[in-house]
Amino acid sequence: MIREAAACWIPRRRPACAGDDGHCKLPTPPRFDNALATRAGRGYNAATMSKPLPSMSTNKPSITSTSATEGARDAFTRLTFLGWSGGVAATVAGLAVSFALFGYAIIYWRNADMDFMVIYNALVMNDGKPQHFFDHTAYLTILTVKSWFALLHGLGLLDAWTLPAIPPATDGPAFDAAMTQAVRAGRVLAFLIATASVVIFAGLARAILRDWRVALLATLAFALSGGVAVHSRILRSEFVAAMPVIFALMILITVGRRALLVRPLALALAAFLCMLGLENKVQAILLIATVPVIILPFGGGASASVAFWRTPSAWLVAALAAIAAAIAAWTAWPLVATGFDRALLDAAQFHPLLAGRYGLYQALLTCLIIGCMIAYAVIWRISRAETIASIAALVAGAALALLMLDLDYDTSNVIAVINPLEKMLTFADARTAGAASGSSLGAVLLLMLDGLGSVLARYSFVLHSSPRPTVFLTWLIVPGIVMAWRSRQGKSALQASALMLAALAIDLLGVRRGLKSEYFIFTDPLIVLAGAILLDRMRDLRFHTWAYPIAMILFGLHIAVGQAEPVKYASKRTGPESICEWNNYYMPLLPLPWCPASRT
């Protein structure tokens, strides 16, 4: 080791010396510019290593010039010239400009589905009436808008915060003014939630990725994605459902890569976030089911448990965690029992998904989660005590989040959250419902193949265009996975593949509902993370001749394609008459001026 250290700075032609122990004694190294001291050919006298040769005294190279040359070639540096804080601030500013131009000021009924549904429920609940909309269930979105309206009213900023505050439909101008005020307040909340999510995504991406510049580029790609473009200006349930689960995944990736004493608490937080997402939209169950599998390759040499978790004291902590989980589960059990109440399920026209019995796939999903946790522990050397404590923490976190349903209790929300797939099937087409009932294995395979072809066509963009710029990232991610594998970056290739396969599987199921732009938010972050992980590991790509031009093309495509949907809605010329097809069902106590009063 001493000889290796000495070789770093002792000239090769310097005679070896020997001490009493037979090894070189290292004198104090002279201070000199590292850029000038590597070789005698750079201008330093090889004997003294102290003064430049006379012939080189006027052409002394420097680190500054070398760095400037590399910086000019480094695409990452050119793309992130604003720095981390400046880049995040510029991204948020760009979102604000887009929101102001193509969101806040457009007419209040333009995005009635679901603006009107969410706002109507907030208005009636602020008037003391129960929640009326349960389709998704949009539970947290409605509660958030309800509280937001009450806060703005308390600050004197919003008059139209309850149903009685909305003028009658017969007074058209007053009705329009009040609804405009309410809808714009809701849109501001949607923008604030989207902006906060982008900032949180940025922070977690920086914790996952080694290079902050790659984290900033990933943040920009996410902020300009089709999912954020849609949900930053309208009130829907998908964004508040998807982002907690995405954050849970990113937290698990972060804490899985490094040994921490409090790692089980991070798993409790992840479970809490996943359950929150499920409470807002039942489709989040698809994303939640992929998380245990995605996380398996995201470990490393530093993932092994810290020393504490291998001591006898760790078992005491694991026992306490198990007791806490049991208490939390016992507290939440009445909600679970209500969720499986057969009378309530029959009244809601639910039908069991498997073998004519409720609760089977929920048990299978629980086994999958626990099985993946045990597999992760074996692969990455997590101690048994920490594994047991983590499982207990997971149960406690999910149970505590389930108790959120008691904030404004309604059995319709409970049965939907406990039976998410059955809830989804109530909106499925006849072909999907028939395949889900298990009538024919061939029908299931044909349905899956049809969905796969449709998703791949959308990923190509050429065969099926969509306002989703992340599809262009897939064009680079797939060959990037192959390159990473061939360059012996197998772990990074496996991680990116897991994320991409999860996105493909979720989109495959989502395509049965048309894979609308509102659903992009469930998989866009997975695609962005896959690309960022590859880019973070394959660092030589930033010096490629085409790296900067391709990045700029992608930047332009993200802006043009991602903003296409907001621009389309802002420039529409159609009227609000189509709302009359569903307003009496979803808003029975709020007649609309342009809808016939006699319609029931």
- The rounded mean pLDDT for the chain is 86
Query: What's the mean pLDDT in 51-64?
Result: 44
Q: pLDDT of 549-599, one tens digit each?
A: 888 998 898 888 888 888 888 888 888 988 999 999 999 999 999 988 644
User: If pLDDT is split at 50, 70 and 90, which confidence band does 74 have?
Assistant: confident
Is 239 exposed, middle or buried, given 0-12, 13-18 or 19+ CB atoms closer than 10 A? buried
How many other CB atoms are found less than 10 A from the CB of residue 27? 9
Q: pLDDT of 205-263, one tens digit each?
A: 999 999 999 999 999 999 999 999 999 999 999 999 999 999 999 999 999 988 899 99
CA distance 2 to 8: 10
Q: What does the block give as tokens for 356?
A: 């004519």
Q: What does the block give as tokens for 526?
A: 């997975």
How many other CB atoms are found less than 10 A from the CB of residue 58? 8
381 conformational bin, left if phi > 0, alpha if psi -120 to 50, beta if neither: left
pLDDT at 72: 59
Q: Name the residue ranges covered by the structural domains of the chain.
A: 1-54
pTM of the full structure: 0.86
- Count CA atoms within 13 Å of residue 396 on its CB side: 21
pLDDT at 133: 85
Q: pLDDT of 266-284, one tens digit each?
A: 999 999 999 999 999 999 9
pLDDT at 149: 97
In percent, the amount of the chain with pLDDT more than 90 equals: 62
pLDDT at 436: 65
Handedness of CA 347, 348, 353, 354 (dihedral sign): negative
Per-residue pLDDT at 10 exceeds 90: no
Query: What's the mean pLDDT in 158-184?
Result: 94
Per-residue pLDDT at 7 exceeds 60: no
Per-residue pLDDT at 452 exceeds 90: no
pLDDT at 34: 43
Amino acid at site 463: L
Q: Give strand ranges (E) for 446-567.
A: none
Q: Which of 47-61, 352-366, 406-420, 496-510 has the lowest mean pLDDT?
A: 47-61
User: Do residues 353 and 436 make contact, with C-beta atoms less than 8 angstroms apart?
Assistant: yes
User: Do residues 429 and 354 make contact, with C-beta atoms less than 8 angstroms apart?
Assistant: no
186 conformational bin, left if phi > 0, alpha if psi -120 to 50, beta if neither: alpha
**Which is more confidently placed, 368 or 550?**
368
Interaxial angle between packed helices 441-460 and 490-510, expressed in degrees from 0 to 180 and rounded to the nearest 10 = 110
Per-residue pLDDT at 368 exceeds 70: yes
User: If pLDDT is split at 50, 70 and 90, which confidence band does 438 have?
Assistant: low
Contacts of 240 (CB under 8 A, 6+ apart): 140, 141, 144, 193, 277, 280, 281
Per-residue pLDDT at 172 exceeds 70: yes
Amino acid at site 386: E
Query: What's the mean pLDDT in 323-328?
Result: 97
**Which is more confidently placed, 32 or 366?**
366
How many other CB atoms are found less than 10 A from the CB of residue 399? 25
pLDDT at 466: 82
How many other CB atoms are found less than 10 A from the CB of residue 129? 13
Q: pLDDT of 110-154, one tens digit each?
A: 988 889 999 999 999 999 999 988 888 899 999 999 999 999 999
Cis before 366 (ω within 30): no
